């Protein structure tokens, strides 16, 4: 019996080879890393672990809220330089300025073809000069009625970038806002969508997990049903928040969370429902933070939906164990 089984297996393998069919092998996951180029911890994380990433988004191009033109050169020095063994380098193009996202300059660009051409050309030439492999557009806080505006501005930037040999132009989109950021029309003007699977609870909300697995599965599943998984990148949180009564909520990293919880003698514990680490201080403050175990769970949720590209928001705030247990 064993001899016949071995012969059958050999015949089947030869037949598959002849037909150009080979046994399916798991595709290796690819990870992108977003940085805060103004933070030493981000730079240190890139230098220590950048070789494990497919891309690092370390460039920062702001759309000025007054002129609607890109601020070039960037006020944030990009210290990642292209050389053998380093990840692809990319830049974010964002309407964030000061304390939030500004929608007026994006609308202004859409209504002024000459200014839009100037902005798109400046971004593309700067990206080419900096030898960026790609751009990530981040124009948040727009409304559903702004979709024609978003498409027009994004297409101009993407077309100009491609003409200047910038390979990939992606767009960061909120996970659940399918009205202002519908996947199908956006993929008509950019190459990929970075689905921001975080801030289920945010700085202005009640305390709670930032991206519990069930919420990630539901939010991402809706996007996959829109366009399929192949051009989606799942952006997952490596950070946390500390909510305090009567004070502004802080965005914190894993090391901050450990230090803060120890300081108030409220050790971090695994929340059984969301799997986030959680601590509650005697003063009523609450900490919810991601760690390597939670991050791995979220990656598996996304893989179950067919995705194999992921983005870490953001480097310098992650649990160091992520590099051995998840990003390998």
Q: What is the pLDDT of residue 25?
A: 41
Q: How many CB atoms lie within 10 A of CB 15?
A: 10
Residues 6+ apart with CB under 8 A from 247: none
Q: What is the pLDDT of residues 211-242, one digit of tens each?
A: 999 999 999 999 999 999 999 999 999 999 99
In whole angstroms, what is the distance from residue 109 CA to residue 111 CA? 5
pLDDT value at position 83?
Answer: 62
Contact yes or no for 261/250 (Cβ under 8 A)? no
Dihedral over Cα of 64, 70, 75, 77: its sign = positive
pLDDT at 292 (0 to 100): 98
pLDDT tens per residue, range 99-115: 899 999 999 999 999 99
The CA–CA distances, whole Å, from 315 to 27, 189, 310 equal: 24, 28, 13
* The residue to which tokens 């002024």 are assigned: 112
DSSP-derived 3-state class of residue 68: coil
The whole-number pLDDT of residue 84 equals 57
pLDDT of residue 99: 82
The whole-number pLDDT of residue 22 equals 45
CA-wise closest residue to 211 among 266, 277, 304, 308: 277
Mention every residue, 6+ apart, whose C-beta is less than 8 A from residue 137: 92, 93, 94, 154, 157, 158, 169, 170, 171, 172, 190
3-class DSSP state of 298:
helix
Indicate the burial class of 147 (C-beta count within 10 angstroms; 0-12, 13-18, 19 or more). middle
Chain centre distance of CA 99 = 20
Task: For residue 48, give both structure tokens.
Answer: 């220590």
- Give the Cβ contact number of residue 196 at 10 Å: 24
> Could you tell me the two tokens for 90?
């990319």
Instruction: In whole angstroms, give the CA distance from residue 246 to residue 264.
Output: 18
* Mean pLDDT in order along the chain per 10 residues (328 residues): 45 45 61 94 92 95 97 90 76 93 98 98 97 97 98 98 98 98 98 98 96 98 98 98 94 96 93 97 93 98 98 97 94
Cα separation, 139 vs 93, in Å, equals 8
The C-alpha atoms of residue 164 and residue 58 are separated, in whole angstroms, by 19
Contact between 106 and 142 under an 8 Å Cβ cutoff? The reply is yes
Contact present, 56 and 42 (Cβ < 8 Å): no
- Quote the radius of gyration of the chain (alpha carbons, Å): 22
């Amino acid at each position: 019996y064993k001899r016949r089984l071995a012969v059958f297996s050999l015949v089947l393998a030869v037949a598959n080879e002849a037909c150009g069919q080979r046994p399916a092998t798991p595709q290796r996951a690819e990870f992108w890393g977003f940085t805060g180029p103004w933070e030493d911890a981000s730079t240190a994380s890139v230098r220590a672990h950048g070789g494990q990433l497919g891309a690092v988004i370390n460039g920062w191009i702001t759309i000025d809220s007054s002129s609607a033109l890109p601020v070039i050169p960037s006020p944030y020095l990009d210290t990642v330089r292209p050389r053998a063994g380093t990840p692809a380098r990319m830049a974010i193009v964002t309407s964030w300025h000061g304390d939030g996202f500004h929608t007026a300059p994006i609308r202004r660009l859409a209504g002024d073809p000459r200014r839009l051409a100037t902005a798109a050309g400046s971004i593309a030439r700067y990206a080419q000069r900096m030898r960026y492999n790609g751009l990530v557009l981040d124009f948040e806080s727009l409304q559903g009625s702004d979709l024609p505006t978003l498409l027009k501005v994004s297409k101009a930037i993407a077309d100009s970038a491609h003409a200047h040999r910038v390979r990939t132009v992606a767009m960061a989109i909120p996970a659940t806002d399918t009205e202002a950021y519908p996947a199908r029309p956006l993929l008509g003007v950019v190459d990929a969508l970075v689905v921001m699977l975080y801030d289920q609870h945010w700085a202005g909300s009640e305390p709670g997990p930032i991206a519990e697995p069930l919420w990630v599965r539901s939010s991402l599943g809706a996007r996959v049903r829109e366009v399929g998984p192949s051009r989606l990148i799942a952006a997952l949180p490596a950070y946390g928040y500390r909510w305090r009564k009567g004070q502004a909520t802080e965005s914190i990293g894993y090391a901050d969370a450990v230090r803060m919880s120890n300081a108030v003698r409220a050790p971090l514990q695994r929340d059984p429902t969301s799997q986030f680490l959680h601590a509650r201080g005697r003063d009523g403050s609450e900490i919810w933070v991601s760690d390597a175990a939670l991050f791995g769970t979220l990656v598996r949720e996304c893989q179950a939906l067919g995705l194999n590209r992921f983005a870490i928001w953001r480097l310098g705030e992650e649990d160091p164990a992520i590099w051995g247990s998840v990003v390998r």
